[in-house]
Amino acid sequence: MKTAIVFHDDFRKYALGSDHPFTGERYKHLPEVFGHKDLSARKSEITFMRPKPADEACIEAVHGEQYLGFIRGINETGGMITLDTPIPPGLYDIARLFAGANILAGRLIAENMVRRVVVPGLGAHHAGYDFGGGFCMINDIAVMIEYLRKYYPVQKIMAIDYDAHCGDGTQDIYYDCPDVLCVDLHQDPMTLFPGKGFAYQIGVDAGQGHTINLPMPPGASDEDFMRAFQEVILPVAMDFAPDLIVANGGLDAHVDDPLSQLRLSINGFQQMMRSIADLSQKVCDSRLILILGGGYNPKVVPAAWTAMISAMLGGPKSNVTASTAPPAFDPAIGRQVGEMVQEVKRIQRPYWPCLCAPA
């Protein structure tokens, strides 16, 4: 069964200003990505799909009326959500297009047309029920999840967020929901925006234990991320048994990215994606959506996107590289990661017995 790529040329119009780190420039690398030998040799396994903007009702299923009134207003004139998130006129229309792309991705899987979908898109995980910021306006991830839960028998969804910044908006929307499991690998919020995503933030009411934060210390590298994945994410996913996995995040955890102090390599991104793809095969018949964020170092984007899509397709280890060799494992950082993982297990154990220490 083919893998779908959902893309629209207007994606590049989600740009917050010529002097802002979030621009549409990342999309100029797509010909290089799909021209790479790792992907061009497998073009028969890929189909491209063009999305339409999400209906307003789909957006209203996720965000509050007052907040939507505000952002629709500044969509006409331009304005600002927060100091880091200026809104040029018309940006809301492009955000709706990203939400529509994710809805199409979900529909393709729910209707058994494909098993895996890549959206080289936004993943606006900082947009919550009644707030935006962090370059995000509407939460296109949650829009897709709510669409699937309403119209298809897709009830249990696991959202794996590997961005350097905690997906606080997605967590806000599902903080009391037991059917959407939000697992988030990110840099320690004591050291990075948005200042949320601590291990003790686990959800409320029926949603307790269905938000799992894995705050990585600055300097964490490939081995550290894989330890957190193997010791926490994998066993919890096996117990939760989702109908679908949604993976999203930017490339800002890369060692060369200017907006974080994490040290993932291209190999690390590929290994993580391969692990997520293997996990989807075990727990949900390979049903997997990958929402590819861009990161803020343009030299990293084509190599990382190529490596991650190749891993999702199940291909051999990619030979793409970026400007910096993979960082060496730091034992001191590794000890901090080990302590964090044990703390997360202790906190989450009442909800996930699979995290109990072996006898």
Across 98-116, average pLDDT: 98
Contact 126, 133 (CB under 8 A): yes
In this prediction, residue 247 carries a pLDDT of 98
Instruction: Record the tokens describing residue 232, joined without a space.
Output: 């926490």
State how far the Cα of 147 lies from the Cα of 321, in Å rounded to an integer. 37
Q: Percent of the chain beyond pLDDT 70?
A: 96
In this prediction, residue 359 carries a pLDDT of 40
Across 311-328, average pLDDT: 70
pTM: 0.96
Instruction: Record the tokens describing residue 348, joined without a space.
Output: 């989450």
Q: What is the mean pLDDT of the chain?
A: 94
Tens digits of per-residue pLDDT, 184-218?
999 999 999 999 999 999 999 999 999 999 999 99
Neighbour count for residue 103 (Cβ, 10 Å): 25
Which sequence positions are flagged as catalytic? 126
| CA nearest neighbour of 250 among 187, 335, 174 | 187
State how far the Cα of 119 lies from the Cα of 248, in Å rounded to an integer. 9
Would the pLDDT of 128 be above 60?
yes
Across 318-332, average pLDDT: 73
In this prediction, residue 41 carries a pLDDT of 80
Tens digits of per-residue pLDDT, 48-100?
999 999 999 999 999 999 999 999 999 999 999 999 999 999 999 999 999 99
Tens digits of per-residue pLDDT, 245-274?
999 998 999 999 999 999 999 999 999 999
**DSSP E strands, the chain:** 3-6, 46-49, 79-82, 85-87, 116-119, 157-161, 180-187, 211-216, 244-249, 288-292
* DSSP β-ladder status, 79-82 and 85-87: antiparallel
Residue 244 in 3-state DSSP? strand
Would the pLDDT of 323 be above 60?
no
Across 321-333, average pLDDT: 77
